[in-house]
Structure formats: structure tokens, C-alpha cells
Structure 1
Amino acid sequence: MSTVELAVTQELTGNIVHYFDQLKDPRSNINRLHLLGDVIVIAICGVLANADGPSAIAEWARLNADGLQKHLALPHGIPKKDTYRRVLSLLKPNDFQACFVQWIESLEGLSDEQKEGYRKQIAIDGKALRRSHDKKNGLGALFIVSAWASDQGISLGQVATEEKSNEITAIPKLLNEINIDEAIITIDAAGCQKNIAQQIVSGNADYVLALKGNQPKLYEVVQKFFLDHLEDDFARCPVSRYEETEKGHGRQEQRIYYQATVPVDFDVGHKWAGLKTIGTAIRMYEQDGIHHSDVRYYISSLRRKGELFATTVRGHWAIENTLHWSLDMTYREDESRVRNRIFANNLSWLRRITLSLIKKHPGKQSNVMKRRMAGWNIDYLMQILTGKTT
């Protein structure tokens, strides 16, 4: 074994498996042949290498047995498919996720200079696993609410619910499970709730919440404020303005952001914890000779600073563009037919965490190609897994 290969082996067995040491094994002691850490690491590797379920994970592991035996204990050889299914159907999702987050955060390694003045942005949004429904047993599609570190491209946690309407109750649970201290939390209109704003402020964090018709009085007041002041270009009140233009995909897009301090006579504002500013994002673009535009409104506990507001609003869109879209395009998540809810939740988490690893890898290949290459070459897979290139 070469020096480089030995170093990677020590990184895997000494570091990654270590993060699962305190994870309680949910299996019966009777006939338990395989170590929990080995099973989890193989599951991670299999999903990273294009496997989409226990059968595919087991087959990938069988074909790569020689390589895996260099990195893992495997006292009874390579586990069969039922072992992966059993483990992923029994592990408590919250505990499972917590181990991964500690591991992923250990790979980040921000320098002291980078940490100075840095504030993590956490985007929270939901996504349905469209083919996970089970009409025979009265189950709709499983809905996953995710926390995504927008600037780092890292999954921080998720909560599974049976219906999209339960997103409002899932968000507070998710906020309780992740570290939000000093972060900026962005949530779409479904999460624009007084109790959620209070929870974020109480957790020593700030929020930027999108406004829509689910808060009709607040929406009406904020919309009226900006329509009124846009008529005279904010001659009657101070405002922070930030503008950007972007070209690509055959169109030119212009975005203008306005952020204003909450007016003294803002009657509905006192009901929202920490509310300091309101904002709007105006997007205009032309495509196929047709002019399009849309306007969105926000409330925030951030002080007035136009560029930060613009960056935060734009950063929230990353959960759609870099997480949800990638899950569908790279992992074909919408095609998953897993019915067991715990299994589906844990498998969904494996997709998100391996996507985080893929995005952190410095290679210029697409996410799809990186997964293929990980399946073709175990040394390349280890590079992605450990965050180290050779």
C-alpha cells in the first residue's frame, strides 16, 4: 500500500467512522455480524457511487470488496442487501443526521481570517419525493424540509413530514436540531410565521422571511409602502438600494433590491420579534422577445444594508438551484419508490450529504460525472469522501 493510499485509509477509518461511534446500533444483538460503522460507510460510498437503494449498494460493495477491505474492518466480509435495508429502516433520522453534520463541519476548516465577520446563511425549504406515495395504504408523497448552508453548499439537517401543509410545524423542529447561532436564516413564505421569527431571534440568529398572501395584512402594508415610495424614488425616506445585472442562458436579467427601516407607524410590525427592516426584490428579464418581471417582498431582523440583503435573498434561491434541482437531476430523487418512511428519510439524507461532498470536491466535472467516476474508481471516491485530492 502506498503512502498516499495509507494516509487516505487512516483518514477514513480513524476519522469518518469515529463520528458514528456514539450512534446507538438499533439492531438486535442476535446474529449481528457486521459493524454499524462499516455498514454506514459502505452505504455512503454506494450512494456516492450511483447506487439508489440497498440492492444496488450491496452489489456495488460486492464488486469493490477488495478496495473496501483495505479501508474497513469487515469481520464477516461484505454485508448483504438486507443488512443495509434493516439498518436504514431502524436508525433514528435525527441521530443519524447529527453524526454526519459533525463530520462534514470538520472538513470545512475555515481560517481565522475567513471566520472574521463571517455569518453562515441557512436556507430552509421543502421538497416532495413525488413517487414515494402509497395509495394502497393511504400515504401521500413524503415531504422533506431541508436546511442548506447556501454559501458552503452543505446539508445541515432535514425533517420529513407526510404533507406539504405540515411544513409550518416541521420548520421549528428543524431549527431546534441545527446550530443557528449568529446565522442568517432565510425561509420562503410558508415559514413566515411569528413563532418562527421568535424562535430564530431567541436562537441568536437573524431572519429574512419571504412575504405572500398567507400574511395578508402584513403583505398589504409592505406592498403599499414600497409602491408609494417607488413613485418618488424614496425622496421621503432613507432606503438601501442594490442593483445587479446578469447575462446567461440566452437572456439578460436585471435585479433591483430595496431595503428600508421599519417605519415608526408600522402597526403590524410590533408583533414580529426583532423586526427591523422590510425589503423588496424586483426582477426583470427578456426572453424570446417577451419582457417578464416579478416582485417579491420580505421582512427581516437585519439592519439596513442593501448589499447584504441582496446577497441573502439571492442566496436563498440556491436551495432550489443547487440542492433540489441537483437531487432531481443527479440522483433522480423524484423517481424513488421507497415506501418505508424511516428508510426513505435516511436514504434521502444520504443523497443530501453525498451531494454536499460532491460539491466540495474541486474537480471541474459535473455532479453526475463525479458520481460516475466515484463508481468507476474507488481512489477517486475516497478523494470525495475525505475531501483530500492526490
Structure 2
Amino acid sequence: MVSTLACENGMVLGQQKTDCKSNEITAIPVLLDLLEIKGCLITIDAMGCPKAIAHKILNKEANYLLALKGNQAMLFSQVEKLLGPEISRPCQDGTLFQETDYQRNREEYRCCIVTNDMSQIPTAANWPMLTTFEVIISYRKEKGKVSKELNFRYYISSATLTAEELAASAREHWSIENGLHWKPDVGMKEDDCRIRRNGASEIMAGVRHVAMNRLQSETSFKKGVRAKQMKAIRNTDYLEKVIFDK
């Protein structure tokens, strides 16, 4: 199942089931056709990096920010070669952004670098409206121990982004792991569901997303999804508030 998350408000906007003998590459264009995305920045992981998907996003009058990995081998190698030396060079205003994130016992340092120089990437001409190349270099310090290796994440975009804008967009995309995976599993016990008959699993996935959206929209009770579920079970007035209040 491929789903779309509006990161700013944490709402699932749509979903599309993948074919039995296919994968997300065929489902993503179908899902994009269902959505009004004009003026939005669409972020997708490396699975959604084919040129056809980039064309589809642009045709819907939106911009793309796509993770770049080895499945686009030639472009990846050229971007890696271009941005690698930038780590040790002075960067112009807006092309470098650094931040540190503190969460409980974990500290993560991130350095974001962007470039709009298309002249050194011959493969860029084959991509629609490709404007920006980006890399995020990070390492973690957890419980006093520093990770031994740097983590490099590469991106391509049709939008002209500063390094700070890239960092913010990448953070929002990483929130999908929490908003689309962790919360349904913990709050809705999705991974424990054994419904398989006909299209029932697809229907139940949609029901969970609707329920998740309604629970997250209800803000009078300042607790997590699981706590809101338990309150709705015990209190019919609160259940009606979750279902009907705008």
C-alpha cells in the first residue's frame, strides 16, 4: 500500500494498493492522479525516483524532491563526485546549513549542502526541470558514543532550494516513518492484523487512516493516539467529538 502524508498537519490524503506482481513504481503515478498537488513540494524516497514520476509531478504543477541512490547509477555517481569535495570547501550564502538535533539520549549533527550548478552533471539534461542537487551529511552521538561512519543522503529537486529549506523538507519526509508506519502499528495494531480475504486488507488500511486523521485532528485532549482511542471507548461524548467535530 502506497500512502500520501501531508507533513504539515500529519494527515493521510490518499492511498493506492500496489499490484500483486508489481511495486510502488506503478502505484505512485496512480496515487498522484487522485490528488490536487498544485504548488506543493512532493518528497519521495529512492523508489520514486524514475523520470516518469518526476514528469507526472511537474505536469500536476508541483515540484519534486527525490532521494537519489544507486538505482539511478549514472546520475548518483556524478552527483556524489560533484558534492563530495564541497564538504571541505567554503560555501556561498544559502548553500550550507548546519543543525544539531537533541532527542533523549541521542544527539544528531547534520550538515546540508546544495548546488544549482548543472554544468558538471551531464546526465542532468535528461531530467525534467532539474534545478538543485543536495547532500545531507550526518552522524549520531548516542549515550556518549559517536557513530564511526558519516551518513550521506543525496537528493535532486525541481525546486530552487536553500540548504536550510532542504533540511526542513528532509526532516518532514523522515516524519513519514512516524506518521505512516509507527503510529498505525502502535496505535492501531496494524502489523498484528491478519485480515487477508479479497480486498479487506486494503479497506481496513483506509479505515485506519481515516480514524488516525480524526484522532489527530481532535486537540482538546492532549494525549497520544492510543490514549485518545481508550478515552473514546469509555466516553461516547468524546467519541462523537472525534467523529463529528471539524
Residue 267 (1) aligns with residue 125 (2): no
Aligned pairs (5 A) from 1:185-204: 185-204=42-61
Secondary structure of 1:253's counterpart equals strand
The amino acid of 2:18's aligned partner reads T
User: Is contact 1:254-1:285 (8 Å) kept?
Assistant: yes
Higher relative contact order (CA 8 A, sep 6+): 1
Structure 1 stretch displaced more, 246-255 or 329-338: 246-255
- Tell me what 2:16 maps to: 159
Contact 2:79 2:121 in 1 (8 A): no
Distance 1:156 1:262 in 2: 35
**Which amino acid letter does the alignment assign opposite residue 343 of structure 1?**
A
* Cα drift, residue 239 of structure 1: 5.6
Q: Quick check: 314-323 or 199-208, which moved more?
A: 314-323
Offset at 1:335? 1.0
Q: Which residue of 2 aligns with 1:286?
A: 141
Equivalents in 1 of 2:209, 2:138: separation in Å? 30
Rounded to whole Å, the distance in 2 between the matches of 1:322 and 1:282 is 24
Equivalent in the alignment of 2:89? 232
Give the direction of change, closer, same or farther, for the CA distance of 1:250–1:165 in structure 2 (3 Å limit).
farther
Q: Which amino acid aligns with 2:235?
A: N
Residue of 25, 29, 32 corresponding to 1:172: 29
Q: Secondary structure at the match of 1:339?
A: coil
Aligned partner of residue 284 in structure 1, secondary structure: strand
| Paired-residue identity, % | 35
Deviations 1:336-373 (A, max 9, x none): 11112422111101101211111122121121010111
- Specify which of 86, 92, 103 is matched with residue 248 of structure 1: 103
**Matched residue, 1:53:** none
Secondary structure of the corresponding residue to residue 23 of structure 2: helix
Confirm or deny that 1:381 pairs with 2:239.
yes
Structure 1, 162-171 or 293-302: larger mean CA deviation: 162-171
> Partner of 1:370 in structure 2?
228
2:160 pairs with 1:323: no
1:102 aligned partner: none
TM-score by length of 2: 0.93
TM-score for both structures, normalised by structure 1? 0.60
Q: Which residue of 2 aligns with 1:208?
A: 65
Change in Cα spacing, 1:266 to 1:321, as seen in structure 2 (3 Å) is same
Separation of aligned partners in 1, 2:48 and 2:76: 14
1:306 shift after superposition: 2.3
Higher share in strand: 2
Aligned length: 243
Distance in 1 between residues matched to 2:20 and 2:125, nearest whole Å: 32
Q: Deviations along 1:48-81, whole A, 9 cap, x unmatched?
A: xxxxxxxxxxxxxxxxxxxxxxxxxxxxxxxxxx
TM-aligned CA deviation for residue 229 of structure 1:
2.1
For structure 2, the 5+ residue unaligned runs are none
TM-superposed CA distance for 1:290, in Å, is: 2.7
Match of 1:307 in 2: 164
Alpha-carbon deviations, 1:158-191, whole Å to 9, x = none? 1112559511111111111111111110000000
Counterparts of 1:2-151 in structure 2, within 5 Å, are 144-151=1-8
Indicate conservation of the 8 Å contact 2:2/2:24, yes or no: yes
Is the Cα–Cα contact under 8 Å of residues 262 and 275 in structure 1 kept in the other structure?
no
Q: Is the 8 A contact 1:245 1:255 kept in 2?
A: yes
Answer whether contact 2:233 2:239 (CA < 8 A) is retained.
yes
Q: In structure 1, the residue corresponding to 2:17 is in which secondary structure? A: strand
Task: Note the C-alpha offset of 1:304.
Answer: 3.1
For residues 320 and 240 of structure 1, the distance between their equivalents in structure 2, rounded to whole angstroms, comes to: 27
SS in 2 for 1:161: coil
Paired residue secondary structure (1:186): strand
Q: Aligned partners of 1:186 and 1:261: how far apart in 2? A: 18
- Stretch of structure 1 that moved more, 244-253 or 310-319: 244-253
